Amino acid sequence: MLKFVVRRLLLLVPILFGLSVLLFVWLRALPGGPAQALLGERATAESVARIEALYGLNDPWYVQYWKFLSAAVQLDFGNSARTNRPVTEEMVRTFPATFELAIAALIFAIGIGIPLGYYAARKYGSWLDNLSVSGSLLGVAVPVFFLAYILKYVFSVQLGWFPTQGRQDPRIDADHPTGLYVLDGIITGNLEASWDAIMHLVLPAIALGAIPLAIIVRITRASVLDVVHEDYVRTAEAKGLWERTITRRHVLRNALLPVVTVIGLQAGLLFSGAILTETVFAFDGVGRFIAEAISNRDYAVLQGFILVIAAMYVVVNLLVDVSYGLIDPRVRVR
């Protein structure tokens, strides 16, 4: 098991190296440049040249790449061209926010998706089943930003049930030792801040979790439909076991295997969804920060953030594989 994990982690090295090269070349192929973006439309050629010289942007790309790489292995991704703060510092500020949002979105998607998928399968062909199937189709089809705007308009602007933006009411005075605001409130004993953070999370989490929810419902439903016709479920019925036991031990434990894989893949994709959600809700996280970095051609930020996100994606998938081995003895890794 340990060998398996180490091997997979070593695989990260070539993945990240390849990605960094691609990213580097691709970013520099974009029209415009950081100097241009920094100085605005009416910048003179001289001022652009001065900035480019200052940041080493005139060097050949391989020289720039080498500089970047030798710093990056020490977790130094340079400074943001826009905020002029170290990229690592921006990461420490924004990653916990997105992490918190992603967890909330997953709780929403899994907490509703698995029970809904299960009952849809058990009531196959009923109104609940039809509703869940068509609802999940809608969930996948509606663009995230559109859903986010609708949610915000209806529940924040019109009904006023939830705050419209941000992570915390500015009037609340709270300490943030971890950057996960809900957890921070609990740690510091400031439950009011925790509750406020939760209220700020609800709508973004629903918007971000809609697609994973829809996919989890569908996979769970299909998988349960498969498993209930398995011979071992019939064996369990022949034993006269209670329906509860059959559901938990014989149906769900098998039906959730493919769902776990899908959850892992979706968890990795949440970061890209977060770009849209965070922008709509002015949620100060990775997604919003990257979106701004793209429009500012902020090379350092993009390089650093995308590499870290890629590494996280690989780690999440590793966790999925490991957990798969824990729940399915047949694929237990040696």
Partner 1 sequence: MIDSEPLLDVRELSVTFTRKGGPTVRAVDGVSFTVRPGETVGLVGESGSGKSVTSLAVMGLLPRRGVEVGGQVLFDGDDLLTLPRDRMRDIRGRDIAMVFQDPMSSLNPVVPIGVQVTEVLERHQDLSGDAARSAAAELLSRVGIPDPTRRLKEYPHQLSGGMRQRALIAMALACRPRVLIADEPTTALDVTIQAQIIELLKELVQDTGAALVMITHDLGIVAGLCDTVHVMYSGRIVESAGRRELFAQPRHPYTGGLLASVPRLDAPRGRPLHPIPGSPTDVLRWSRGCAFAPRCPNRIEPCTDGPPPLESIGGRSLRCLNPLAETEEVAAR
| Interface residue list for partner 1 (CB under 8 A) | 230-232, 234-242, 245, 249-250, 253-254, 257, 327-330
CA distance 102 to 319: 16
What is the sign of the dihedral through the CA atoms of 163, 289, 291 and 19? negative
CA distance 34 to 51: 9
Q: For partner 1, which is the closer residue by CB, 60 or 329?
A: 329
Q: For partner 1, which is the closer residue by CB, 43 or 257?
A: 257
Q: For partner 1, which is the closer residue by CB, 75 or 331?
A: 331
Q: For partner 1, which is the closer residue by CB, 7 or 234?
A: 234
CA distance 101 to 144: 14
Q: For partner 1, which is the closer residue by CB, 58 or 235?
A: 235
CB of 125 vs partner 1, minimal distance in Å: 9
What is the sign of the dihedral through the CA atoms of 55, 59, 62 and 63? negative
**Which tokens hold the place of 156?**
């924040």
**Which tokens hold the place of 221?**
């439903």
CB of 132 vs partner 1, minimal distance in Å: 19
CB of 119 vs partner 1, minimal distance in Å: 16
Q: For partner 1, which is the closer residue by CB, 199 or 241?
A: 241
Q: How far is CA 168 from CA 101, 155, 175, 193, in A?
A: 13, 17, 11, 7
CB 203 within 8 A of CB 281: yes
CB 198 within 8 A of CB 100: no
CA 160 to chain centre: 27
Helix (H, G, I), strand (E, B) or coil at 86: strand
CB of 328 vs partner 1, minimal distance in Å: 6
CB of 263 vs partner 1, minimal distance in Å: 17
Q: Angle at CA 5, nearest 5°, toward 72 and 309?
A: 35
CB of 231 vs partner 1, minimal distance in Å: 4
CB 225 within 8 A of CB 121: yes
CB of 221 vs partner 1, minimal distance in Å: 17
Q: For partner 1, which is the closer residue by CB, 189 or 329?
A: 329
Q: For partner 1, which is the closer residue by CB, 7 or 123?
A: 123
CB of 320 vs partner 1, minimal distance in Å: 16
**Which tokens hold the place of 127?**
């109104």
Q: What residue has token string 């997604």?
A: 287
Residue 129's closest CA among 222, 235, 234? Answer: 222
CA distance 148 to 278: 9
Q: What is the DSSP letter of 249?
A: I
Q: For partner 1, which is the closer residue by CB, 70 or 126?
A: 126
CB of 181 vs partner 1, minimal distance in Å: 38
Helix (H, G, I), strand (E, B) or coil at 251: helix
